[in-house]
A and B are shown apart, each in its own frame.
Chain A
Amino acid sequence: MTEWWTYSLHSFLLFSPRVYWRLIEHYNQSLWPLQIPVLLLGFVVLYGLLRRQPRTWRAAWALLACGWFFVGWGYLDQRYAAINWPVKYMVPVFFLEGLLLLVLAARRPTDVRPGAGRRLGLVLLCYALAGHPLVTALLGGAWSAAELPGLLPDPTAIATLGALLGWKKSRWRGVLMVIPVLWCFYSVLCLLAIDAPAAWVMLGALGLAAIAGWGLVWTPIRKRR
């Protein structure tokens, strides 16, 4: 792309805010009342991570993996790609994240030490489960605009970041965070292009994840000194 500096976010605008919010509302309406069990399963994930027993632990990560599969197929491929063509290239990426989470689900429970990282991870996970649906319903002006983890990509990515930051001690944690972080950035750009305030919410979640991530990296270094 030549003269790339002359492009603004609005140069890449493909759809109007009205089309975007209507897409989410119609998607939610087509799934109703699936939102109720999905929300309950979200709390099962939280419970499984807090209990840290092998069976509940594995179930939690497997449920998160299912969320990535469902969002990749049900929302990105079947709905969102129709108005936002780059999204069709992200469908296999979502499936890859689901597969990686399944691999981790098969491994033994590991744990990060309780501390700031754990608390921020918990905050992110709780926000994805309860806060994000409320915020998006308020911004969208209808309950049908509420975005739930496991059904829509933004809260799924935030919930996964929270879970990984708070509970998964593994050299693979960084690898598993790449896709959720990239999605969050992409979503922020799309939301900014349509001047949606939800972009700032996503930026806040990313900022929180960055702080938690920095804490997890910095604390062991400081202790070694």
Chain B
Amino acid sequence: MSIHRPTFSRRILLKGLGALALATAFPAPALSAADPRMRLIPSTGERLPMVGLGSWTTFNVGGDQQLLDQCADVIAHFVKAGGRLIDSSPMYGSSQDTIGYGLNKLGRPGAVFAADKVWTWSVAEGREQIETSRRKWGIPRFDLLQVHNLLSWEGHLKTLFAMKAAGDLRYVGITTSDGRRHGELAQVMRTRPLDFVQFTYNIVDREAEQRLLPLAMDRGIAVIVNRPFQQGGLIERLRGRPLPSWADEIGAGSWAQFILKFILSHPAVTCVIPATTRVDHVQENVAVAGSVLPDEALRRRMAAYVRAL
């Protein structure tokens, strides 16, 4: 079996040199720049750990103190393990409040890469929603803001690019999920200077390989992968089925690690954001990035194995 480390284009590597200048302006990542767990953000060359933390459903716990503390524990272990990118949305109920609670409990760690979204029909209300989200997180500004599910994307992108130009935001992105509106998303990727794009990609939902992932590489757009486990449904379907004997060769000790390794082995993927309420799961997820990733031949074998189950 051959193993490969992700490679990047010369253009991206040159941009990486520019990151030296940015390093003085922005908080340094918790991990070293040479760490294999990191991926480059093509537009700046900043390095980002390839396993992030999603918050859809899992962090929407309302005012339940016990669950709030549990989520704060997940965030604490994520940060302790070297994780940086935490992603949320105003659509996710109380998730932003939960993240704010967790970060506050942690003493506001500077390494966190705060990614959120704008999600409202009204472009005029976008700024106000972003400000509300920022207050909930309890941070001076977001690192990344994305237009959620392409909702009123033209107007919101204007707002986000204006914020970026004013120094109120570092990166601009756009999202979709579950394979919806890929054609429209591709059009936005081609015509707008996006830093990030977020969509669903996993070992069974592979439509993104046809158009979005190659386009992201070509355009130098960082890719965040959401719903890696199909909201847990994929893990549920595979539960009780044996991992292949060769899973050890890539250090996959569970189905979750097997799936994450498949996703991260695509060279266009910058970061995957599994969501969880459990500390052991967050540790298991983050650990994936520290070991070898499968090459193209093994990726095909992995997909075929899961398809045959």
Contacts and interface: CB of A to CB of B under 8 A. Distances in A.
Interface of A: 2-3, 6-7, 10-11, 13-16, 19, 22-23, 26, 79, 82-85
Contact of A13 (B64, B178, B231): B231
A82 B58 contact: no
A11 B179 CA distance: 12
Contacts of B179: 6
A27 to B, nearest CB: 10
A19 B60 CA distance: 8
Max chain A C-beta neighbours (<10 A), residue from B177, B231, B233 = B231
Contact of B61 (A3, A13, A19, A84): A19
Nearest to A6: B180
Nearest to B177: A11
The 10 closest A-B CB pairs, nearest first, are A82-B62, A83-B62, A83-B93, A15-B60, A14-B93, A3-B180, A82-B94, A83-B60, A19-B61, A6-B180
B178 A19 contact: no
Contacts of A10: 231, 233
Max chain A C-beta neighbours (<10 A), residue from B62, B64, B94, B178 = B62
A82 B94 CA distance: 6
Nearest to A12: B91
Q: Give the bracket for the number of chain B residues in contact with chain A.
A: 20 to 34
Given A19-B60, A26-B64, 8 more contacts: A6-B180, A10-B231, A14-B91, A15-B93, A23-B64, A79-B62, A83-B61, A83-B94
Interface string B50-62: 0000000110111
B178 A6 contact: yes
A14 B180 contact: no
B63 A82 contact: yes
A10 B57 CA distance: 11
Contacts of A11: 177-178
B181 A3 contact: yes
Contacts of B64: 19, 22-23, 26
A100 B61 CA distance: 34
30 contacts: A2-B180, A2-B181, A3-B180, A3-B181, A6-B178, A7-B178, A10-B231, A10-B233, A11-B178, A13-B57, A14-B57, A14-B60, A14-B91, A14-B93, A15-B60, A15-B61, A15-B93, A19-B60, A19-B62, A19-B67, A22-B64, A23-B62, A26-B64, A82-B62, A82-B93, A83-B60, A83-B61, A83-B94, A84-B93, A85-B91
Interface in B84-113: 91-94
Interface in B198-235: 231, 233
Contacts of A82: 62-63, 93-94
B78 to A, nearest CB: 19
Nearest to B151: A1
B290 to A, nearest CB: 29
B177 to A, nearest CB: 8
Contacts of B180: 2-3, 6
A7 B180 CA distance: 9
Nearest to A15: B60
A10 B233 CA distance: 10
A201 to B, nearest CB: 23
A23 B63 CA distance: 9
Contact of A15 (B57, B91, B178, B231): B57
B197 to A, nearest CB: 18
Contacts of B57: 13-16
A219 B103 CA distance: 63
Nearest to A4: B180
A69 to B, nearest CB: 22
B262 to A, nearest CB: 22
B73 to A, nearest CB: 16
Contacts of B93: 14-15, 82-85
Nearest to A26: B64
Nearest to A11: B178
Interface in B42-88: 57-58, 60-64, 67
A2 B185 CA distance: 13
A11 B58 CA distance: 14
B153 to A, nearest CB: 12
Contacts of A79: 62
A84 to B, nearest CB: 7
Max chain B C-beta neighbours (<10 A), residue from A19, A79, A82 = A19
